Structure 1
Amino acid sequence: MKRGVITTCCLALGLSFLVSVPAHADTSGLWMSSSRQNLTSKAGVGTSAHIKIANKTDAPMDVQLSVKSFNVDSQTRAITFVDPREDWITPDVPRLELAPTEEQDINYRIAIPVTADEKEYHFALIASTVVGSDQNAKTLRVASLLYLSVDGGHLTRAGDITSAHVPSFAFGTTIPYTFAIKNTGDIHLELQSNVQLQGQAWNSLTTARPAVVLPGESRTISDAVTSPSLPGIYTLRYGYTDDTTGAKTLEVVPVIYLPIWAVGVLASLLLASVWLWQRRRSGKISATSDQ
């Protein structure tokens, strides 16, 4: 299978996938209504997907439609489009002519064979066009990411926190944390990571980040919370919420916070205690010698 990377000109598409926030794919010329779709069907049962494509320019536009599979790099989270192994999805028309400011509804027919494996498949419905001419010509591409689940009743939605690093002692103005969320199920997870530092009289704002994690992949969350104003023993609560089910996965670890000024005060008290102890000890020795 020949692999090729299609670099989309659509920043909104990339952001919508990485942060799991629905957004229109827009290249300031070629526009697509949906950046992500979720469909569930059964083997041998056909279904369809729908998108809207619009020409946001003042010139006619010749738009080519195609279907790819997509992968996501677990480290950089870059999206790569490749030729699909499954030839299941066909647009009603392979190309269309759009007049200036015109918008059209496009239907994609999905024919799932009876022999299809029970799992989630990842497709991209891509529209592309060339704008400009000669040396100023450029290709615009937008895509709608399609998560297609072929469900025979055995697909599972599951995830877990597989690793974490939170310091037991913290001294600076922020407390760093890192933890990894792994998708241990069969379908992608749309989730919100959540982190909060709590104490008896102080709670930080909850840090929430949306994310999408594909089956078998992990997503590493790294950031820092603002340190409290006073020293003490605090609790860092971190984990995630599944946007689909509302289920929460949570870990709790204690953190001893000692700001630099508190360390200085403790060191001064310790030195003063040692000095007083030595003074008293030397005084007792002198008194014994005089006797």
Structure 2
Amino acid sequence: MIELLTPAQLDEMRPAGRFVASVLAALSEKAAVGVDLLDLDALAHDMIRDAGAESCYIDYHPSFGAMPFGKVLCTSVNDAVLHGLPHRYKLRDGDLVSLDFAASLNGWVCDSAVSVVVGTPREEDVRLIDNAQEALDAAIAVARPGNRVGDISAAIGAVGRSHGLKINTQFGGHGVGRTMHGDPHIANDGRAGRGLPLKPGLVIAIEPWFLHTTDEIRMDEDGWTIRSADGSRGAHVEHTIAITEGDPIIMTARD
């Protein structure tokens, strides 16, 4: 079911967005050579507890998951791009890591992701992150009344293809509100002018993710972590936004 929120409800959701943004900012600063992925998860867990929030991940068990997720943060490193299950691994110089985090505060959910390079960056990794951010910015720019979900998907796909990237459409954006995942699904490529009309009060998470040289993916042995099929690295960025009568509101803005 798709729910359109009132302006008052959007105001109620803002603290959840600010909280998610603050956690990702702290995690991005903490991520460094020698830091363990489990330490990042523990930091997010502490911040959830201190804020009186609730994790959207720890008991999450969709049909594609092998078991309840069991952690509060997704940490996807190098050739992993989505749903990375935190495990005992110390970050190394040059690692590309995606940090994906969603939480509920006061009954409202926001969801966001950022990709960072730890230590000495590789030029191609920085470029891939920039490509994903460019796609996210382009998608947010068309998230206005009168447009459709297909316009968001088409904007993401156009940016990806302009940089010579192939686009996977199996996992993408989604509705957000009282729960983490809802309708509509927002693929990372599509046809403009198609799909659900965008109306004020619609809240969605837009999440472009790109791989260097493939659009094929495989599931890791942990039953959660999604990796590129050819070992190439991936970047993933995401914001929760609200459609309004004018400019969209970026609920999870980190600046």
User: TM-score range, shorter-chain basis?
Assistant: under 0.3
Judging by fraction of residues, say which structure has more strand: 1
Which structure ranks higher in relative contact order (CA pairs < 8 Å, sequence separation ≥ 6)?
A: 2
TM-score (norm 2): 0.28
Which structure carries more helix by proportion? 2
TM-score normalized by the length of structure 1: 0.25
